[in-house]
Chain A
Amino acid sequence: MEDRPPDEPELVSRARRGDEAAFGALVDAFADIAFRTAYLVTGDAAEAEDAAQEAFVKAYRALDRFREGSPFRPWLLRIVGNTARNRRRSANRQLGLRLRAEAQAPVETSPSPETGLLRDERRRALFAAINALPPHDRLVIGGRYFLELTEAEIAALAGVAPGTVKSRLFRARGRLAGALGPRAEWLDD
């Protein structure tokens, strides 16, 4: 999910000088990742919308503290993550994500009804296992696989040092495999 605008440094620079249109262009460019990230944290669309809006407002007012030349997205995602966590009503809320109905899945990924059913079953088992993980594990798994964030962005979102993301992912995957339990035989096929 790389949606970095090609003229990002120029837009950031103009926004820092008070150019509201330039900041508006940044909002458009990063609205999707900001909203989805907030949704990953809050599990609720209305809360995610409020959190994303608030995060952009905070980012606008903090632009003078942004280090010019550095990537904007991790900086923004740190603000989004903090804002969304503060707004989340339940500390242990499960992922609000849904699995797409099979009928809407791309046809080419369903070579046969049997294969499709098996794949759906595995997806549901994996999804349930992710939901059973502690919130900080869900965050790194969701950030890595569902939002395709970089390690630096996951670190910013989770509020940890970039060097620890790999070990956190390692542990989260280990716990995920443990949560799958006997249902994980297919991982050993």
Chain B
Amino acid sequence: MTDRLDAALADLASAIEFPRTPELRSAVAARTAEPPRRGWLAPLPRALALALVALVLLATAAAALVLVVPGLRLTLVPSLPTASVSADPLGTRLALGTAVEVDEVAAFAPEALGPPDEAYVVGDREVVSLVYSASTELPELRGAGIGLLVQAIDGAIEGDQVEKLAVEAGAGVTAVSVDGEPGYWITGPPHLLRYIGPDGEQRSEATRLVGDTLVWARDGTLYRIESGLGLTDTRRIAESIRP
């Protein structure tokens, strides 16, 4: 389908009509000849500007517990609510039958592990899950036959689109850095992932596995890896996902 869709889009492009490009040069020249307008911060003395920045940083630090990762809110609760999606949170299995699909899935696959054994998508690819079978290198996660799970949750991460609910008793939450991006290392009992899909509807799903989880956001995509490898090795794998 991908090749045909590509061809159809190329055909559609030939039928697209843009408005005529206006003459821009003279208008741009007239505006560049004017002195630039000063920004709102420009008239402030440098010391005052720095004090303002410090205040903002302090406010950010106060909210750091819940807003370290862009788009992600981590909430500790006494007990988990019921998940709205629980049957098969990994979604529909991709056949991985064509070179194109293999190549496209590889965009999310950590180079340290190579291609996954299985790949799944939820809805319209709002969540892509890559499954690696348990092996001598990847300890099995609670009898599921799975050694490691990579999930990429799509969306322009704006506001708090993704919320993780973890049981406050027993959950270990450590702020970490993944390739320079802020993230969490979450250990302990199962937690609930709640996010807003591209359709604007809120969804929630219980994590099917109970491995420790590394979660971080990069370029509008929220990533999570569940594994039994510990933080150091899990982070090494996370950082081998191509930027």
Contact = CB atoms under 8 A, between A and B. Distances in A.
Contacts of A97: 16-18
Nearest to A35: B21
B121 A28 contact: no
Interface of A is mostly: helix
B201 interface: no
Interface string B1-33: 110111011111111111101111101110111
Contact of B28 (A60, A100, A170): A60
A152 interface: no
Contacts, number: 140
Contact of B21 (A31, A130, A174): A31
B160 interface: no
A174 B32 contact: no
A interface residue count range (under 10 / 10 to 19 / 20 to 34 / 35 or more): 35 or more
A127 B12 contact: yes
A87 interface: no
Interface stretch (A4-12, A50-58, A70-78): A50-58
A130 B101 CA distance: 21
B108 interface: yes
Interface stretch (B57-65, B70-78, B80-88, B213-221): B213-221
A61 B21 contact: no
B43 interface: no
A177 B108 contact: no
B108 A167 contact: yes
A165 to B, nearest CB: 9
A86 interface: no
Contacts of A100: 15-17
Contacts of A184: 1
Contacts of A53: 24, 27-28, 31
Given A126-B8, A167-B107, A56 B24 contact: yes
A16 B140 CA distance: 59
A53 B221 CA distance: 32
B17 A98 contact: yes
B143 to A, nearest CB: 31
Given A36-B18, A53-B28, 12 more contacts: A23-B32, A27-B28, A49-B22, A57-B28, A57-B32, A122-B8, A123-B15, A134-B198, A170-B104, A171-B124, A171-B154, A174-B121
Interface of A: 20, 23-24, 27-28, 31-32, 34-36, 39, 45, 48-49, 52-53, 56-57, 60-61, 97-100, 105, 109, 119, 122-123, 126-127, 130, 134-137, 141, 144-146, 148, 160-161, 163-164, 166-168, 170-171, 173-179, 184, 186-189
Interface of B: 1-2, 4-6, 8-19, 21-25, 27-29, 31-33, 36, 104, 107-108, 121, 123-126, 128, 152, 154-156, 198, 218-221, 242-243
